Chain A
Amino acid sequence: MALSASQLSVGDSYSEQIVDDLTRTQIVQYAGASGDYNPVHTDEKFVTEVAGYPTVFAHGMLTMGMTGRMVTNYVGDGRLTYYGVRFTSQVWPGDTLTAKAEVADIRDEDGQKLVDLTITTTNQDDRPVLTGQATARLDD
């Protein structure tokens, strides 16, 4: 399942649609699992009348979690050494997101082959909602 350095090139990429028509229920499901019950994610009345947003929006960490699924499907389980992101735009119910990883570098650190990936998750309007990097261990 893991990637091999010998079969990988800078510029190679992999992408997955990570959610189609995000539901409010999935946002609530993430709140329950993660423990983050911030009402901006779960409470329509609070978020519209007090916080001033048009509706609830997803936890950034839900987008990072769903994007992480694409990354681990690509690099293999237990292979990540680093995964970091910036949240660049909010994610709303009804959004459809596509996450893409592109090989930025293949390198050697203390005899271990590593791949650096550039990660971008975009919504249905091609707007980036998350950008980031990941590093994973490769087979030789």
Chain B
Amino acid sequence: MAVERFPVEASHILMFARSIGDTNPIYSDPEYAAGTEVGSIIAPPTFAQSSAQFDPDYFLRPKPDKKWFGSGRTASGTLVRDLSEADGDDVTDEREDDKQSGAAAGGLHAEQHFTYHRHLKPGDVLHTVTYDGERWEKQSKRAGILKFSEAVTEYRDEDDELVITAKGVGVVTEKVIDN
């Protein structure tokens, strides 16, 4: 699920900052930003995650030529089994062609880590390299057996310099979490 071209754009940063309720002008006002230590608009610390927008195969975005597992005429466009048996991790099991590991991959997002070598700014054009990390299991009272998997993503710029190293941990639960 490497992203070949992730152009960092000011309008995307603005939308992203709005969605997390951050009105800091460093994310939207070039004149203000020019007078600060960083000298230009930068992206919020978790913005790199939105590289998903530039992954053509990203499985959590509906695509016109593919059935979507969310609701339409029925509660799910892809699940055909008796819904009374369904639980959280069935969502993963039914999508054989879309299996992947790491952050939020079919299941829940357990951890996310970012190491910043520098901060993103409009005009950056990044690409990513992703590799699998560790896998482990844990027993939990609230959700049964938890299967964790780690994925490391390197965000690199056009000079192939490392900009951000991200590590995501995804977890697939045996049953729906008892809240």
Contacts and interface: CB of A to CB of B under 8 A. Distances in A.
Interface of A: 1-2, 18-19, 26, 29-30, 32-40, 42-43, 45-46, 49-54, 59-62, 64-66, 68-69, 71-73, 76-78, 80-87, 90
Given A45-B71, A51-B86, A87-B111, A80 B45 contact: yes
A35 B58 contact: yes
B50 A43 contact: no
Nearest to A89: B179
Contacts of A29: 18-19
Interface residues of B, number: 53
B163 interface: no
Contacts of B167: 84
B71 A78 contact: no
Contacts of A50: 71, 75-76, 79, 83, 86, 90-91
B87 interface: yes
A50 B101 CA distance: 22
Interface of B: 12, 15-16, 18-22, 24, 26, 36-38, 42, 44-46, 49-50, 52-53, 58, 60-62, 68-71, 75-76, 79, 83, 86-88, 90-91, 104, 108-116, 119, 167, 176-177, 179
19 contacts: A30-B20, A35-B53, A35-B61, A42-B70, A43-B70, A46-B70, A46-B71, A50-B91, A52-B86, A61-B104, A62-B20, A64-B112, A65-B20, A78-B26, A81-B116, A83-B114, A84-B111, A87-B110, A87-B111
A80 B26 CA distance: 14
